[in-house]
Amino acid sequence: MKIVVTVKLVPDPNAVRRIDPATKRLVRTGVDTALNPFDEYAIEAALQLKERLGPDTTVTIFTMAPESMKESLRKALAMGADDAVVLSDPALEGSDVSVTSYAMAQALKKIGFDVILSGALSDDGNTGGVPGALAEHLGVPGLTNVRKIEEIGDGRIKAQRETDTGYQVVTGPLPALVTVTMAVGEPRYASLKGIMGAKKKTIDVLSAADVGIDRPLGSDSAKMEVVAIAAPKSREKARVVEAADGASGAQAIFDFLRERKLV
Amino acid sequence: MRDVIVFVEHSGGQTRKVTFELAAEARRLADALGGKAHAVVAGSGAAALAQQLQNHPLDKIHHTDDPDVDKYLLDPFVDYLEAVAKSVGPSVILVPNTMLGRDIAGRIAARLNAGLASDVTELRVENGRVNCVAPKLQGSTITTCAFKAGDYGVITVRPNAFSAAPKSTGAEVLTIEKPSGKSYKMAVESDVEEASGELGLEEAPVVVSGGRGLGGPQPFETLLKPLADALGGAVGASRAAADAGWVPYSLQIGQTGKIVSPQLYLAVGISGAIQHKVGMQTAGTIVAINRDATVPIGETADLLVVGDLFQIVPALTALVQKAKAAHA
């Protein structure tokens, strides 16, 4: 079985993020790049499937990013993925959800897959719309928010997916796109052997032309434009009350809620 | 782009409250754009829900109770929404920013080659264009995006960001015809409710949330639940509490969980790391209880009470219950 994990490279979640006032885009150069934390759960889920299904199963990491960032994928290879592919083209810069998902779909068709795994959200844009759009462009079913893959093989999948009120059990044919939640299990750490081995694994780079992209790309084709960016309204500093005992602490909160007409 | 379409989310025969918020906002936008406000409701019980929606300020309510909507995952919803959107023409589609809403939004945006604005908390019409205001980058930046005119635009809207405004405007109720040539593959075998009868966390007016300071699963039941019940709210949790297995992930609030915007957020024994803050910082009022006066939640909260949560919470529950009894 061929599993492709789509990941997003995001500015290091621990670094300060900045928006360029001129382009109104997130500054992605000059800051460390990391795997979107949600996507590490997708890598973990893929590696679990590989363990379950045996050596005929391969895990390919896919991302769309500037070529200069491709080394950030070594971490995923060190965790145990077999190889990686980067779709990289200057023309893609500034693409919004609709263009990004179309371009990714073209590349994924070229790579080929039985299952696509991805994280449910991205850490920076927080759009959450890409997986659904990707499934549409690929013409495959999209199983989102999966917490457990119960059965997979013989061209079928059965999985539990989280809903706002509980969960559903769904079944259907492969190929399919699956997004996973954190319930699949903590992403594993790379072993020393994995880190050494990752250095020899291949990271292929594809251009827009390589994958047959024939639509306008980048910000010119984007369906939305950013018209303003601003800092959020700051809250006043908290009132701090030291509570000597439960009763006085409770009274302080109760009075505060009364003052604000919340009780 | 003049008409506005609301995707109606419902479960267990009840329309989710956020739908009514979207209906009020759709009316306001449609009036500013000089168009009509529509709603699309699909699935079992849709006809009854469509009638209820007549109490909200809409012009046209499109419905179908096609059983395929419940039997198959997502695609039938998207097909019906697409059918209405195509019949209306370039328009704004409002979808709640919930798990289902996000799935629908990505798919319908791809079908209609539309722009997608997510987790929007404010909408404005300027020069005939719809501007969407949304917090980004963990709430550190507020962006305003505009759709290009002449296209479809899809917007996921944060629950509790807008207020419902029930009012009958004599909306017309219409049946949507089944789109032809569709076959569905991903079957829903079972649908299990795990938190039945509880308020949706994103829609609750009050959220009482617990973290590592609770020390285990029991205090969520014995301390937080009674307080949430007394305040008419729901129980949430920090990632630490969900990771520890004390509560299901469905209760987790924060960047990797749910984003809530209640009138009142009570953070009990939660230190308030940035990832948690992302999920609750737009709440109306934030009150924290913590034994440590230096916790980061102090920067987000309006009131920080430093003390023993195991004593403060039951005493607060008693005060709220007493006040309610006196009022009743």
> Residue ranges per domain, chain B?
3-175, 206-327
* pLDDT in the model for residue B232: 92
Which overall architecture, per CATH, does domain A2-221 show? 3-Layer(aba) Sandwich (3.40)
* pLDDT in the model for residue A30: 64
As a whole number of angstroms, the distance between CA A115 and CA A99 comes to 22
The residue in chain B having the minimum alpha-carbon distance to the alpha carbon of residue A183 is B249
CB contact under 8 A, B307 and A181: no
Q: Is residue B196 very low, low, confident or very high in pLDDT (cuts 50, 70, 90)? A: very low
Residue among B136, B260, B275 with most chain A CBs within 10 A, to mutate: B136
Judged by average pLDDT, the poorest of A50-54, B36-40, B65-69, B96-100 is B96-100
* pLDDT in the model for residue A13: 62
Question: Which residues make beta-bridge pairs with B190?
Answer: A169
* pLDDT in the model for residue B173: 97
Q: Is residue B93 very low, low, confident or very high in pLDDT (cuts 50, 70, 90)? A: very high
* pLDDT in the model for residue B186: 94
Chain B neighbors of A108, CB-CB under 8 A: none
Mean of pLDDT values over A55-75: 93
Mean of pLDDT values over A144-148: 92
Greater model confidence, A128 or A215: A215
As a whole number of angstroms, the distance between CA A254 and CA A243 comes to 13
Chain B neighbors of A223, CB-CB under 8 A: 113-116, 147-148, 151, 153
- How deeply is A186 buried, as exposed, middle or buried, from its count of CB atoms within 10 A (0-12, 13-18, 19+)? exposed
Enumerate the domain spans of chain A.
2-221
* pLDDT in the model for residue B317: 97
Question: Which residues make beta-bridge pairs with B237?
Answer: B210, B252
Fold agreement between B3-175 and B206-327: yes
Q: By the CB < 8 Å criterion, does B151 face chain A?
A: yes
Q: Annotate A39-62 with DSSP letters as a single string.
A: HHHHHHHHHHHHHHH-TT-EEEEE
Which overall architecture, per CATH, does domain B3-175 show? 3-Layer(aba) Sandwich (3.40)
As a whole number of angstroms, the distance between CA A254 and CA A260 comes to 10
Tell me: pLDDT of A31 over 80. Answer: no
* pLDDT in the model for residue A16: 65
Tell me: pLDDT of A93 over 50. Answer: yes
Residues 60-119 of B with CB under 8 A from A: 73-75, 98-100, 102-107, 109-111, 113-119
* pLDDT in the model for residue B197: 43
Mention every residue, 6+ apart, whose C-beta is less than 8 A from residue B88: B3, B5, B36, B38
- Output the six-digit token pair for A131: 């997986």
* Length of chain B measured in residues: 328
Among candidate residues A211, A195, A198, the one with its CA nearest the CA of residue A83: A198
What ipTM does the predicted assembly reach? 0.86
Which overall architecture, per CATH, does domain B206-327 show? 3-Layer(aba) Sandwich (3.40)
Chain A neighbors of B148, CB-CB under 8 A: 223-225
**Global confidence as pTM:** 0.87
- Output the six-digit token pair for A79: 């965790």
Mention every residue, 6+ apart, whose C-beta is less than 8 A from residue B60: B36, B37, B38, B39, B171, B172, B174
Residues 271-310 of B with CB under 8 A from A: 281, 285-289, 293, 298-308, 310
